[in-house]
């Protein structure tokens, strides 16, 4: 697999912090999982303190654990990746298992680097993408803005629309 693709899905780590397209059951088929990155430590461009340990598990999911400021590995999260058309480009839809179900984001590979974006239903454009494609806004007070999905088709359409205007973070590379 091309090194840029392998480097990219470290962006999976971003899901641990901020995704708000969610579902109570997995809407991405684990049989479609791809494994484009190798096990190892991955570091964000421009910030060597932002790093994570990525491990491919036997069930096809990735185990993603961020390092804290002292270099200690923190809580591990399970993340699944599948190929997807995102805003007219090839990329990956990402699912993270959470205590309440699953959250979703996207990753793109460009110029040998991989970028991550996670939708924020507090943002009107991200929220409109969700609602226009079948997502249900679930605001719980001012701090929680989640768009709930109940079908794979609705989720994938919303992720593709979101990817067309998303703001992607700095890329990660294998250390």
Q: Of all residues in the chain, what percent carry a pLDDT higher than 70?
A: 83
pLDDT at position 32 over 90:
yes
Please state, in angstroms and rounded to a whole number, the distance separating the CA atoms of residues 116 and 12: 7
In sign, the C-alpha dihedral spanning 119, 22, 9, 72 is positive
**Strand ranges (E), 58-161:** 62-67, 73-86, 89-98, 101-110, 113-117, 136-140, 144-148
pLDDT tens-place string over residues 119-146: 999 899 999 999 999 999 986 655 668 9
5 vs 41: CA distance, rounded Å: 15
Reply yes or no on whether the pLDDT at 116 is more than 70.
yes
Give the tens place of pLDDT for each residue, 33-57. 998 777 888 888 888 888 888 899 9
The C-alpha atoms of residue 156 and residue 9 are separated, in whole angstroms, by: 18
Tokens 């079948």 -> residue: 134
The yes-or-no verdict on residue 16 having pLDDT over 60 is no
Judged against a pLDDT cut of 80, whether residue 114 lies above it is answered with no
**pLDDT at residue 163, as a whole number:** 94
Q: Is the pLDDT of residue 18 over 60?
A: no
Q: Which long-range contacts (CB under 8 A, 24 or more apart) does 140-146 make?
A: 145/20, 145/120, 145/121, 146/20, 146/21, 146/22, 146/121
- Tell me, what's the pLDDT at 71? 77
For residues 5-15, give the mean pLDDT.
44
Q: What is the Cα–Cα distance from 57 to 19, expressed in whole angstroms?
A: 22
User: Which residues, including other chains, have CB under 8 Å from residue 76's CB and lie 6 or more apart?
Assistant: 63, 64, 65
């Amino acid at each position: 697999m091309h090194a840029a693709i392998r480097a990219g899905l470290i962006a999976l780590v971003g899901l641990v912090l901020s995704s708000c397209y969610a579902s109570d059951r997995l809407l991405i088929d684990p049989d479609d999982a791809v494994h484009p990155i190798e096990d190892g430590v991955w570091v964000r461009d421009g910030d060597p303190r932002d790093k994570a340990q990525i491990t491919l598990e036997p069930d096809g999911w990735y185990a993603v654990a961020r390092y804290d400021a002292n270099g200690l590995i923190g809580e591990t999260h399970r993340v699944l990746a599948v190929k997807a058309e995102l805003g007219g480009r090839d990329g990956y839809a990402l699912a993270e298992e959470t205590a309440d179900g699953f959250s979703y984001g996207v990753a793109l590979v460009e110029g040998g680097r991989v970028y991550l974006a996670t939708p924020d239903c507090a943002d009107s454009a991200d929220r409109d993408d969700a609602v226009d494609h079948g997502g249900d806004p679930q605001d719980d007070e001012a701090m929680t803005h989640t768009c709930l999905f109940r079908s794979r088709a609705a989720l994938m359409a919303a992720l593709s629309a979101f990817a067309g205007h998303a703001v992607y973070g700095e890329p990660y590379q294998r250390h």
